[in-house]
């Protein structure tokens, strides 16, 4: 075989191999974007987006639900991983391929409903004895980068609510929708109230920068196709209506993006 033909064959085989790769698909417990059902299956607005992409790609990979810190660690150790849903920040910008924006998420601080505290700034937050955060969450990173030493990190928003209810922390970080879902699932959790909004971020499906190029391209092309077909917007409309019915919360929508 001629050298040129051999090179072409090797390149073709490499492309076929990359195209045939199925990524490990990992998400985190953040309803209504993604959450576990009693039977162990995953549900959620972004879960439905990922499943639509999988149908487009004829991908049968199971979706794994991991604690947020472990999900991020896995992406550092394994290149061919699809993660969702993660906020796009300056610190993360060069570490990932940002495949598809799916929602906008607020970074908020909540207090017990009966609390008389007034939180108007980061300076007020620093005065608290303890703030509950989810380990690996973008809101934890935001506060750590600003030198906060009064954070208590746990693996889930449900644990945060339990700590707030028992008085182990003074406040918790989250957003209205994910906490509303958690409150609905736990009848023993006391009411909470919004005390401070820090900022918001756009949330994406992502892959590590060192993922196989062919794999990244396949998912990018599938995302573009679903956007053009209108299927992503249909999913957003369905979840907008479902959230209204289940939680009596009006969620804003911008095309296929839901604004949490």
Residue 30, CA distances (Å) to 12, 15, 86 in order? 40, 35, 10
Average pLDDT of the segment spanning 36-55: 96
Confidence band of 7 (pLDDT split at 50, 70, 90): very low
DSSP tag of 128: S
Confidence band of 10 (pLDDT split at 50, 70, 90): very low
Q: Which of 64, 137, 131 is closest to 106 using CA atoms?
A: 137
Average pLDDT of the segment spanning 129-133: 98
pLDDT for res 182 = 87
Whole-prediction pTM: 0.88
pLDDT for res 20 = 55
Q: Which of 237, 234, 231 is closest to 252 using CA atoms?
A: 237
Average pLDDT of the segment spanning 83-102: 97
13-36 core/surface letters (b: 16 or more CB in 10 A; e: else): eeeeebeeeebbbbbbbbbbbbbe
Residue 159 has pLDDT above 80, yes or no: yes
Confidence band of 12 (pLDDT split at 50, 70, 90): very low
> pLDDT over 70 for what percent of the chain?
91
Residue 209 has pLDDT above 60, yes or no: yes
Q: Which domains does the chain have, with CATH numbers?
A: 21-105+201-259 (3.40.190.10), 106-199 (3.40.190.10)
Structure token digits, residue 86: 């993660």
Higher pLDDT, 13 or 166: 166
């Amino acid at each position: 075989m001629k050298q040129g033909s051999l090179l072409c064959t090797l390149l073709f085989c490499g492309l076929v191999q990359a195209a045939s790769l199925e990524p490990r698909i990992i998400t985190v417990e953040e309803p209504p974007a993604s959450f576990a059902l009693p039977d162990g299956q995953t549900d959620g607005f972004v879960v439905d987006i990922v499943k639509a992409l999988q149908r487009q790609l004829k991908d049968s990979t199971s979706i794994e639900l991991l604690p947020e810190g472990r999900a991020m660690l896995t992406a550092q150790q394994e290149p061919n991983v699809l993660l969702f849903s993660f906020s796009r920040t300056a610190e993360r910008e060069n570490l990932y391929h940002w495949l598809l924006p799916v929602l906008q998420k607020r970074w908020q601080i909540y207090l017990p409903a009966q609390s008389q505290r007034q939180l108007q700034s980061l300076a007020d937050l620093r005065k608290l004895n303890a703030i509950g955060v989810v380990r690996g969450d973008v809101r934890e990173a935001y506060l750590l980068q600003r030198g906060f030493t009064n954070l208590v990190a746990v693996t889930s928003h449900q644990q945060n609510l339990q700590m707030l209810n028992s008085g182990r922390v003074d406040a918790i970080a989250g957003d209205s929708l994910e906490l509303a879902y958690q409150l609905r699932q736990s009848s023993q959790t006391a009411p909470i109230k919004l005390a401070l909004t820090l900022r918001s971020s756009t949330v994406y499906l992502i892959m590590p920068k060192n993922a196989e190029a062919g794999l990244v391209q396949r998912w990018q092309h599938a995302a573009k196709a679903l956007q053009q077909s209108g299927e992503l917007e249909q999913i957003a409309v369905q979840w907008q209506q479902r959230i209204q019915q289940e939680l009596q919360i009006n969620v804003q929508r911008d095309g296929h993006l839901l604004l949490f």
